[in-house]
Amino acid sequence: MNTIPEFWNNFWLNFWANFASDFLVGIVIVWAISVIVRKAKKIEAKVTARLEKESDSSYKIVFALKNSGKTNFKTQEVYYHIFVPASLSPNERGDETTRTLVETAESGYFDFVGLLDKPCFPGRSTELCTLQISQKEPEPNSVLYFLSTAHGFFPKGIKPDQNGQVEFATLGKVTIETA
């Protein structure tokens, strides 16, 4: 009947070994679930633009939010900033955005700010605003943007300071397609 003392001699060693292995397996399972959930809720958005010629002397740029993620953006959930070079003499067509002149070391930009008034579903684009510009076409990568959403800032890497200001170097570049 030496089984009872043997049981107690090995009990704590076996208990802690079992506890440690169960704990490690639990951590691995929680990590795997968090990775799966994160991928299922992938959030990605960017601003795209289409340049349309209206006449010999005027163009319009139609800006849109492209949702390439797997999560909806609800109405009034996306706050956008579109920076257009002042040399293009941009004017907003409508009154859903505000315009502010922003001076940088290189040049001046007009910051068009607005709130998305429609939902944007995954895999779709939703129009943000339309700007009238001068007769000259914008230079590639000259129009910049950033988005402030309920899911964070886009493009990734934007970090505003305490005053809500962002560095121009971190802004996204709008790809402008011609119609």
Digit-by-digit pLDDT tens for the chain (179 residues) are 556 667 777 888 888 899 999 999 999 999 998 888 877 778 888 899 888 888 777 788 889 999 988 888 888 898 998 888 887 777 766 666 677 777 776 778 888 888 888 999 998 999 988 888 876 667 766 788 888 888 888 888 887 778 777 777 788 888 888 76
Q: Is the dihedral of CA 154, 155, 161, 167 positive or negative?
A: negative
Cross-strand pairs, 169: none
Mean pLDDT of the chain, nearest integer: 82
Residue 67 burial (CB count, 10 A): 22
Report the alpha-carbon distance of residue 89 to residue 72 in Å, rounded.
34
pLDDT of res. 3: 62
Which pLDDT belongs to residue 55?
Answer: 78
CA distance 26 to 50: 50
pLDDT of residue 30: 94
- Angle at the Cα of 84 from the Cα atoms of 79 and 87, rounded to 5 degrees: 160
